Structure 1
Amino acid sequence: MSVLKVIEVLAHSETSWEDATAKAVSKASKSVKHIRSVYVQEQSATVVDGKVSQYRVNVKLTFEIE
Protein backbone atom coordinates (compact mmCIF):
# COMPACT_ATOMS: atom_id res chain seq x y z
CA MET A 1 0.00 0.00 0.00
CA SER A 2 1.31 3.45 -0.83
CA VAL A 3 0.63 6.63 1.08
CA LEU A 4 0.53 9.93 -0.78
CA LYS A 5 0.98 13.46 0.53
CA VAL A 6 0.03 16.79 -1.05
CA ILE A 7 1.95 20.04 -0.59
CA GLU A 8 1.30 23.50 -1.97
CA VAL A 9 4.05 25.35 -3.88
CA LEU A 10 4.18 28.84 -5.38
CA ALA A 11 6.40 29.64 -8.38
CA HIS A 12 6.87 32.32 -11.01
CA SER A 13 8.34 32.80 -14.47
CA GLU A 14 8.90 35.66 -16.86
CA THR A 15 8.03 33.34 -19.78
CA SER A 16 4.74 31.48 -19.16
CA TRP A 17 2.51 29.65 -16.70
CA GLU A 18 3.82 26.36 -18.09
CA ASP A 19 7.39 27.43 -17.35
CA ALA A 20 6.40 28.49 -13.83
CA THR A 21 4.82 25.06 -13.29
CA ALA A 22 7.93 23.30 -14.59
CA LYS A 23 10.09 25.41 -12.28
CA ALA A 24 7.91 24.51 -9.29
CA VAL A 25 8.27 20.79 -10.00
CA SER A 26 12.00 21.05 -10.74
CA LYS A 27 12.80 22.99 -7.57
CA ALA A 28 10.58 20.83 -5.34
CA SER A 29 12.06 17.61 -6.74
CA LYS A 30 15.45 18.59 -5.25
CA SER A 31 14.10 17.96 -1.76
CA VAL A 32 10.87 16.00 -2.34
CA LYS A 33 11.22 12.52 -3.82
CA HIS A 34 8.67 10.45 -5.75
CA ILE A 35 6.54 13.33 -7.08
CA ARG A 36 3.61 11.72 -8.88
CA SER A 37 1.52 14.64 -10.14
CA VAL A 38 1.08 18.39 -10.20
CA TYR A 39 -2.25 20.20 -10.09
CA VAL A 40 -2.30 23.88 -11.08
CA GLN A 41 -4.68 25.36 -8.56
CA GLU A 42 -4.38 29.03 -9.45
CA GLN A 43 -2.75 31.24 -12.09
CA SER A 44 -2.05 34.96 -11.90
CA ALA A 45 0.20 37.53 -13.50
CA THR A 46 1.76 40.88 -12.71
CA VAL A 47 1.53 43.72 -15.20
CA VAL A 48 4.05 46.51 -15.74
CA ASP A 49 3.49 49.28 -18.29
CA GLY A 50 0.54 47.44 -19.84
CA LYS A 51 2.46 44.18 -20.38
CA VAL A 52 2.61 40.93 -18.44
CA SER A 53 5.91 40.92 -16.59
CA GLN A 54 5.60 37.78 -14.48
CA TYR A 55 3.45 34.63 -14.60
CA ARG A 56 2.62 33.06 -11.23
CA VAL A 57 1.21 29.66 -10.32
CA ASN A 58 -0.02 28.09 -7.14
CA VAL A 59 0.33 24.32 -7.56
CA LYS A 60 -0.34 21.22 -5.49
CA LEU A 61 2.27 18.48 -5.75
CA THR A 62 1.40 14.91 -4.89
CA PHE A 63 4.18 12.55 -3.85
CA GLU A 64 4.58 9.11 -2.34
CA ILE A 65 5.81 8.78 1.22
CA GLU A 66 8.44 6.09 1.70
Structure 2
Amino acid sequence: MTVARVTKITAASPKSFDDAVHSGIERAAKTLRGITGFHVIEQKAMVADGKISQYLATMEVIFVLED
Protein backbone atom coordinates (compact mmCIF):
# COMPACT_ATOMS: atom_id res chain seq x y z
CA MET A 1 0.00 0.00 0.00
CA THR A 2 1.31 3.44 -0.91
CA VAL A 3 0.74 6.45 1.33
CA ALA A 4 1.50 9.99 0.19
CA ARG A 5 1.81 13.25 2.04
CA VAL A 6 1.21 16.81 0.86
CA THR A 7 3.17 19.79 2.13
CA LYS A 8 2.73 23.44 1.18
CA ILE A 9 5.69 25.58 0.13
CA THR A 10 6.16 29.10 -1.26
CA ALA A 11 9.05 30.00 -3.54
CA ALA A 12 10.13 33.37 -4.92
CA SER A 13 11.99 34.53 -8.01
CA PRO A 14 12.82 37.94 -9.47
CA LYS A 15 12.46 36.45 -13.00
CA SER A 16 9.05 34.76 -13.39
CA PHE A 17 6.36 32.54 -11.85
CA ASP A 18 7.80 29.63 -13.83
CA ASP A 19 11.23 30.21 -12.32
CA ALA A 20 9.73 30.41 -8.83
CA VAL A 21 8.02 27.03 -9.35
CA HIS A 22 11.19 25.41 -10.72
CA SER A 23 13.39 26.72 -7.91
CA GLY A 24 10.80 25.72 -5.30
CA ILE A 25 10.63 22.12 -6.54
CA GLU A 26 14.42 21.90 -6.88
CA ARG A 27 14.83 23.12 -3.30
CA ALA A 28 12.12 20.80 -1.95
CA ALA A 29 13.83 17.85 -3.65
CA LYS A 30 16.94 18.49 -1.53
CA THR A 31 14.95 17.68 1.61
CA LEU A 32 11.97 15.58 0.49
CA ARG A 33 12.45 12.17 -1.11
CA GLY A 34 9.88 10.55 -3.37
CA ILE A 35 8.26 13.69 -4.84
CA THR A 36 5.65 12.57 -7.37
CA GLY A 37 3.96 15.85 -8.27
CA PHE A 38 2.84 19.32 -7.26
CA HIS A 39 -0.12 21.66 -7.61
CA VAL A 40 0.30 25.42 -7.87
CA ILE A 41 -2.41 26.85 -5.64
CA GLU A 42 -1.55 30.55 -5.72
CA GLN A 43 0.55 33.06 -7.61
CA LYS A 44 1.36 36.51 -6.25
CA ALA A 45 3.79 39.26 -7.11
CA MET A 46 5.48 41.93 -5.05
CA VAL A 47 5.81 45.41 -6.54
CA ALA A 48 8.51 48.01 -5.84
CA ASP A 49 8.72 51.38 -7.57
CA GLY A 50 5.89 50.43 -9.95
CA LYS A 51 7.64 47.26 -11.19
CA ILE A 52 7.37 43.60 -10.25
CA SER A 53 10.22 42.84 -7.88
CA GLN A 54 9.38 39.23 -6.90
CA TYR A 55 7.14 36.50 -8.29
CA LEU A 56 5.76 34.18 -5.61
CA ALA A 57 4.35 30.71 -6.23
CA THR A 58 2.65 28.73 -3.46
CA MET A 59 2.28 25.04 -4.20
CA GLU A 60 1.37 21.74 -2.65
CA VAL A 61 4.15 19.19 -3.09
CA ILE A 62 3.12 15.52 -3.09
CA PHE A 63 5.58 12.85 -1.97
CA VAL A 64 5.34 9.16 -1.13
CA LEU A 65 6.16 8.13 2.43
CA GLU A 66 8.88 5.52 2.83
CA ASP A 67 8.34 2.28 4.70
TM-score, normalised with respect to structure 1: 0.95
Instruction: State the 1:57 CA deviation.
Output: 0.9
Partner of 1:26: 26
* Identity among equivalent pairs (%): 36
Runs of 5+ unmatched residues, structure 2: none
* AA in 1 matched with 2:22: A
The alignment of Structure 1 onto Structure 2 pairs a total of residues equal to: 66
Structure-2-length-normalised TM-score: 0.94
Q: Residue 46 of structure 1 corresponds to which residue in structure 2?
A: 46
Q: What's the secondary structure of 1:46's corresponding residue?
A: strand
Please list every run of at least 4 consecutive aligned residues from structure 1 whose deviation after the TM superposition is greater than 4 angstroms.
none
Cα offset for 1:48?
1.1
Structure 1 counterpart of 2:11: 11
Which one has a larger percent helix, Structure 1 or Structure 2? 2
The DSSP-based 3-state class of the residue aligned with 2:33 is coil
